[in-house]
Amino acid sequence: MILRTPPPKKQRAEPILHESPSPQVASEGRLVIYEDNPLAAPPPESPHQPSDHLLCTYQCRQMVKADFIDALSNAEKQIRDYQSKLEILNENLSKAEVERKKFRDQFLYAEQELAAAKGREQMLHDQLLKEVNDSQERFKKQLETNNELKGKLQNELNLRKKAESSAASAEEKAADIEGKLTQFSQSIEREKKQLQNELSQLKGESKLSISRISADLERTEFRANSAEKESELLKEQLEDLKKQLNECLNQKSEVEKKMSSFTFQEVTSSESSILIKHLQEELRNYESEVREARKLKSSHEDIELLKAKLLEEKGRRERAESELSKLQEQQICLSNLEKELSLWKLIMKDIPGVSCPEDIPVKFATLQKEVIASTMKIGETNARLKQIEVGLDAAQLAKQNAEAEAALDKEKAEILKSEVKRIELMLSMVTEERNKLSNAINELKRHKNEEAGDEVASGTVVQELESSLAKKESCIKELERSLHEQKEINDRQHNEIKMLHDRLNNEARRIKSLDRETDRLRSEISLLESKLGHGDYSASNTKVLRMVNTLAVDNEAKQTIEALQTELQKTKEKLQALEELKSQSGDTGKLVDSYISEKITKLKEQIATLEKREERYKTVFADRISVFRRACCELFGYKANDYTAQPEISHQVDIFVRKLNSIPAFTANLTVESFNRRTLS
Amino acid sequence: MASRTVAKDIITLRGSAAIVSEFFGYAANSILYNRGVYPEESFAKVKKYGLPMLLTQDEENEIVGKEWLEAGKLQRVVMVIMSKATKEVLERWNFSIETDSDVVEKGVSREKSDREIMREIQAIMRQIASSITYLPCLDEPCVFDVLAYTDTDVPVPFTWIESDPKLIANPQMVKLHSFDTKIHKVDTLVSYKNDEWDEQ
pLDDT at A525 over 70: yes
* Backbone φ, ψ for residue A219 (5° rounding): -60, -50
Counts of helices then strands in chain B (DSSP H, E): 5, 11
* Choice among A38-42, A75-79, A496-500 with the minimum mean pLDDT: A38-42
Please indicate, yes or no, whether residues A235 and A136 belong to a single structural domain of this protein.
Answer: yes
pLDDT at A41 over 60: no
Q: What pLDDT is recorded for position A48?
A: 45
- Bigger pLDDT: A268 or A176? A176
Residues of B in contact with A532 (CB under 8 A): 94, 96, 189
Where would I find the beta strands (DSSP E) of A429-588? Answer: 542-547
Q: What pLDDT is recorded for position A640?
A: 66
Cβ contacts below 8 Å, chain A against chain B, sum to 112
pLDDT at B1 over 50: no
> Of A230, A257, A284, which closes a domain?
A257
Q: State the Cα torsion A450-A452-A456-A458 to the nearest 10°.
A: 40
Domain range for A292: 273-350
Alpha-carbon distance A85 to A42, whole Å?
Answer: 25
A395-424 residue pLDDT tens: 777 767 767 776 776 777 677 667 767 766
Collapsing DSSP to helix, strand or coil, B44 comes out as strand
Please indicate, yes or no, whether residues A190 and A304 belong to a single structural domain of this protein.
Answer: no
pTM here?
Answer: 0.35
CA distance A589 to chain B (A): 50
Please indicate, yes or no, whether residues A308 and A193 belong to a single structural domain of this protein.
Answer: no
Of B141, B152, B163, the CB nearest to A546: B163
Q: State the Cα torsion A193-A198-A201-A207 to the nearest 10°.
A: -120
pLDDT at A570 over 70: yes
List the single residue in B with minimal CA-CA distance to A662. B141
* Backbone φ, ψ for residue B38 (5° rounding): -125, 155
pLDDT at A547 over 80: yes
Please indicate, yes or no, whether residues A205 and A295 belong to a single structural domain of this protein.
Answer: no
Angle at CA B182, nearest 5°, toward B176 and B149? 60
Collapsing DSSP to helix, strand or coil, B111 comes out as strand
**Residue A473 belongs to what H/E stretch?**
helix A455-534
B194 touches chain A (CB under 8 A): no
- Amino acid letter at B149? Y
CB under 8 Å to B176, separation ≥6 — which residues? B124, B127, B128, B131, B188, B189, B190
Contact B191, B173 (CB under 8 A): yes
List the single best residue of A180, A197, A635 to mutate versus B (max B Cβ within 10 A): A635
A529 to B165: CB separation less than 8 angstroms, yes or no? no
A183 to B164: CB separation less than 8 angstroms, yes or no? yes
Please indicate, yes or no, whether residues A168 and A217 belong to a single structural domain of this protein.
Answer: yes
Alpha-carbon distance A620 to A614, whole Å?
Answer: 10
Of A540, A544, A633, the CB nearest to B164: A544
B62 touches chain A (CB under 8 A): no
Of B57, B63, B163, the CB nearest to A544: B163
Give the burial string for A560-596 (b: 16+ CB within 10 Å, else e). ebeeeeebbeebeebeebbeebbeebeebbeebeeeb
Please indicate, yes or no, whether residues A228 and A285 belong to a single structural domain of this protein.
Answer: no
pLDDT at B3 over 70: no
List the single residue in B with minimal CA-CA distance to A182. B164
* Local confidence band at A474 (pLDDT 50, 70, 90 cut-offs): confident
* Local confidence band at B60 (pLDDT 50, 70, 90 cut-offs): low
Please indicate, yes or no, whether residues A224 and A122 belong to a single structural domain of this protein.
Answer: yes
B162 to A544: CB separation less than 8 angstroms, yes or no? yes
pLDDT at A269 over 60: no
Contact B111, B143 (CB under 8 A): no
A418-457 residue pLDDT tens: 776 776 677 677 678 777 777 877 777 786 666 455 555 5
Of B42, B160, B189, the CB nearest to A545: B160
A332-376 residue pLDDT tens: 888 888 888 888 778 777 777 767 767 777 777 777 777 777 777
Alpha-carbon distance A231 to A233, whole Å?
Answer: 5
Of A529, A544, A630, the CB nearest to B147: A544
Q: What's the average model confidence in pLDDT over A502-507?
A: 81
B162 to A543: CB separation less than 8 angstroms, yes or no? yes
Contact B173, A533 (CB under 8 A): yes
> Of A350, A381, A416, which closes a domain?
A350
Percent of chain A with pLDDT over 70: 76
B61 to A634: CB separation less than 8 angstroms, yes or no? yes
Q: What pLDDT is recorded for position A555?
A: 57
Residues of A in contact with B57 (CB under 8 A): 633-634, 637
* Backbone φ, ψ for residue B52 (5° rounding): -80, 110
B151 to A542: CB separation less than 8 angstroms, yes or no? yes
Residues of A in contact with B41 (CB under 8 A): 637, 667-668, 671
Put the strands of the sheet holding B142-151 in their side by side order.
B160-162, A542-547, B142-151, B74-83, B89-99, B184-192, B172-180
Angle at CA A268, nearest 5°, toward A264 and A274? 135
A186-196 residue pLDDT tens: 887 788 788 77
> Of A224, A257, A290, which closes a domain?
A257
Please indicate, yes or no, whether residues A209 and A285 belong to a single structural domain of this protein.
Answer: no
Other CB atoms within 10 A of residue B130 CB: 12
Q: What pLDDT is recorded for position B25?
A: 92
Q: What pLDDT is recorded for position A16?
A: 43
pLDDT at A6 over 70: no
> Is A234 a member of any domain?
yes
Please indicate, yes or no, whether residues A226 and A82 belong to a single structural domain of this protein.
Answer: yes
- Bigger pLDDT: B77 or A88? B77
Please indicate, yes or no, whether residues A212 and A123 belong to a single structural domain of this protein.
Answer: yes
* Local confidence band at A316 (pLDDT 50, 70, 90 cut-offs): confident
B51 touches chain A (CB under 8 A): no
CB under 8 Å to A403, separation ≥6 — which residues? A139
B171 to A179: CB separation less than 8 angstroms, yes or no? no
Contact map slice: B 126-145 vs A, CB within 8 A: 141, 145
* Local confidence band at A549 (pLDDT 50, 70, 90 cut-offs): low
What integer best gives the mean pLDDT of chain A?
Answer: 74
Residues of A in contact with B164 (CB under 8 A): 183, 186, 544
Q: What pLDDT is recorded for position A413?
A: 65
Counts of helices then strands in chain A (DSSP H, E): 10, 1
List the single residue in A with minimal CA-CA distance to B95. A533
List the single best residue of B58, B89, B153 to mutate versus A (max A Cβ within 10 A): B58
Collapsing DSSP to helix, strand or coil, A668 comes out as helix
**DSSP characters over B146-163:** EEEEEETTSPPPTTEEE-
CA distance B44 to chain A (A): 10
CA distance B71 to chain A (A): 15
List the single residue in A with minimal CA-CA distance to B174. A533
A215-261 residue pLDDT tens: 777 777 777 677 677 777 777 777 777 777 777 777 777 777 776 76
Please indicate, yes or no, whether residues A82 and A215 belong to a single structural domain of this protein.
Answer: yes
Residues of A in contact with B43 (CB under 8 A): 637
Q: What pLDDT is recorded for position A54?
A: 53
Tell me the fold of B9-193. Cell Cycle, Spindle Assembly Checkpoint Protein; Chain A (3.30.900)
Residues of B in contact with A546 (CB under 8 A): 145-148, 160-163
pLDDT at A75 over 60: yes
Please indicate, yes or no, whether residues A278 and A247 belong to a single structural domain of this protein.
Answer: no
Alpha-carbon distance B186 to B120, whole Å?
Answer: 10
B161 touches chain A (CB under 8 A): yes
Task: Give the total number of structural domains in chain A.
Answer: 2
What integer best gives the mean pLDDT of chain B?
Answer: 87
* Choice among A36-40, A88-92, A160-164, A333-337 with the minimum mean pLDDT: A36-40
Of B42, B57, B78, the CB nearest to A535: B78
CA distance A665 to chain B (A): 11
Measuring CA to CA, which residue among A352, A345, A381, A348 is closest to residue A367? A352
A535 to B167: CB separation less than 8 angstroms, yes or no? yes
Residues of A in contact with B38 (CB under 8 A): 635
> Is A72 a member of any domain?
yes
Q: What pLDDT is recorded for position B28?
A: 93
Alpha-carbon distance A636 to A662, whole Å?
Answer: 12
- Model ipTM value: 0.89
Alpha-carbon distance A247 to A255, whole Å?
Answer: 11
pLDDT at A1 over 70: no
> Is A77 a member of any domain?
yes
> Residue A163 to residues A379, A481, A535, A615: CA-CA distances in angstroms?
10, 65, 27, 66
Alpha-carbon distance A185 to A171, whole Å?
Answer: 20
Q: What's the average model confidence in pLDDT over A530-552?
A: 74
Q: Which residues of A touch B (CB under 8 A)?
A: 179, 183, 186, 190, 529-530, 532-537, 540-548, 550, 553, 627, 630, 633-637, 664, 667-668, 671
- Length of chain A, please? 681
> Is A567 a member of any domain?
no
pLDDT at A283 over 90: no
